[in-house]
Amino acid sequence: MATYTGATSGLAAGVQTNDTSLDFALETTYGTAPGGNYQALRFTSETLARQDSTSRPDEINAVREVSQSVLTQVSASGTISGPLATGCFDDFLAGVTGGDWMTPSQIIASGSILMTAVSNDTFKGGMGSLLISGRDLSGVPQSGVVSIIDTTRSFSKMLPYFNIVGGNTLIFQKGSFDELISNGESAYALSNGSFVEFGGLRNGNIDKTFTIRKKLLSGFQLFTGSLVNQVQIQLQQGQFGSVSADLTCGNMTRSTTDNAAAILVAPSGVVHDSISGFLGLTINGVAPAGCVTQATITLSRDGSGNDYGMGHADACGVRSGSFMAAGSIEFYFRSWDQFDQMTAGTQGPIMIRSVDGAGDGYAFVFLNAALRNGKNPVSGKNQTVKATFDIEGNPAAGGGTFAIFPLTGTATN
């Protein structure tokens, strides 16, 4: 039996990282830390810090020393990194895209709601189309991603649409319904009980700033006026999925008062992995011939930044900039298809799907993207050639550059 029990005090040289925490809340007024509930965040590292800008005149003096500096500006910024776990960074994704997550909703085919799919609609420029009669689509985004299920013909697909024309017809990529429409049919009326599900997130024009709280010792550092100016999602063979969010903050202050009414527990889903959780990548509806080894998605606010004035050191406000979506992909080189699309200037949807062990996750969709800067270097002997491409996101016909569709209970590999 042990002689002693209990713990030793004064063990650590300083605050331990395991004793720190991050949480955040959406600001209703820019730069003002809200009360109410704060959302705890799962993270692996962070670099949030204040930056002071100073200036001094080049005075001439016999002592040969610089003049006294003056404070000209105070700012704060940094990066929060963490695992790709479903739900963890949803608010930051909404912040960088300028959108709100839409609650999933279904339109179900019935005697009063008719759905007619055409794979090559000559009246719609040869694109795919889905006519929904008997249902108002005025509240549906002009572009995005839908899940379509028809059990009669065992059709279950997630498809990006580019526009809504005539108030009732969704426009898809040509050939989107080839597996649904039998030979000899020009169109197919989805059977009763079939449904189209809308939901998720699409880039928009909603401005969002957050207050980020970092708990240290018995107090907090408050990073107010925090604009999410970039989120990068990294999927790589042999690694877990990861997320990094860059923030531009109006100021950093220290508080000994806990201003939160409550701390909401962070989502507890399993981290996305690159084996069972990676459900594939398609370019214009077709997967590359070779296995994918890496995919990166970068969502950013081009031209964003703080504005400053006289009379105070911190920011007067922040410019939210313009949304931009970009990325890169890498896969084993087995076909010229993607190089041919690049040289032809072909644009279309690029979809990357990733889930956790429960099948919950995301379909990340560039609604109208082009492949750029393709390379297939020969790096040395006894190697397998890989192709790499940059992804350039562009707006779809109905507006919208990037969308995320939530996946729930999806079968894993």
How confident is the model over 131-167, as pLDDT tens digits? Answer: 999 988 888 899 999 999 998 999 999 999 999 999 9
Domain segments of the chain: what residues? 19-53+70-99+204-407, 102-202
DSSP 223-275: EEEEEEEEEEEEEETTS--EEEEEEEESEEEEESS---SEEEPPP-PPBP-SS
Matching residue, tokens 């029990």: 5
pLDDT averaged over every residue in the chain? 94
**pLDDT digit string (tens) for 377-391?**
998 999 999 999 999
Tokens found for residue 33: 């830390």
pLDDT on residue 276: 93
Buried b (16+ CB within 10 A) or exposed e, 61-74: eeeeeeeeeeeeeb
**pLDDT digit string (tens) for 191-227?**
999 999 999 999 999 999 999 999 999 899 999 999 9
pLDDT on residue 58: 94
Per-residue pLDDT, averaged over 78-86, amounts to 97
Of the candidates 345, 229, 233, the residue with the CA atom closest to the CA atom of residue 281:
233
Neighbours of 324 (CB within 10 A): 19
Taking 90 as the threshold, does the pLDDT of residue 398 lie above it? no
The CATH T-level fold of domain 102-202 is: Elongation Factor Tu (Ef-tu); domain 3 (2.40.30)
pLDDT on residue 59: 94
Query: How far apart, in whole angstroms, are the C-alpha atoms of residue 263 and residue 294?
Result: 35
Taking 80 as the threshold, does the pLDDT of residue 412 lie above it? no
Matching residue, tokens 């998720």: 200
pLDDT on residue 397: 86
pLDDT on residue 275: 94
**What's the maximum distance between 2 C-alpha atoms anywhere in the chain?**
95
Asked if 213 contacts 24 with a C-beta cutoff of 8 angstroms, the reply is yes
Percentage above 70 pLDDT, the chain: 100
Tokens found for residue 64: 């040969």
Query: How far apart, in whole angstroms, are the C-alpha atoms of residue 404 and residue 144?
Result: 8
Asked if 114 contacts 134 with a C-beta cutoff of 8 angstroms, the reply is yes
**pLDDT digit string (tens) for 246-283?**
999 999 999 999 999 999 999 998 999 999 999 999 99
Q: How many residues does the chain have?
A: 413
CA 305, 310, 316 angle in degrees (round to 5)? 35
pLDDT on residue 124: 85
Q: How does residue 126 score in pLDDT terms, banded at 50, 70 and 90?
A: confident
Per-residue pLDDT, averaged over 311-316, amounts to 93
This prediction's pTM? 0.92
Tokens found for residue 289: 């011939």
Question: What distance lies between CA 184 and its chain's CA centroid?
Answer: 41
Tokens found for residue 225: 């006026």
Q: How does residue 185 score in pLDDT terms, banded at 50, 70 and 90?
A: confident
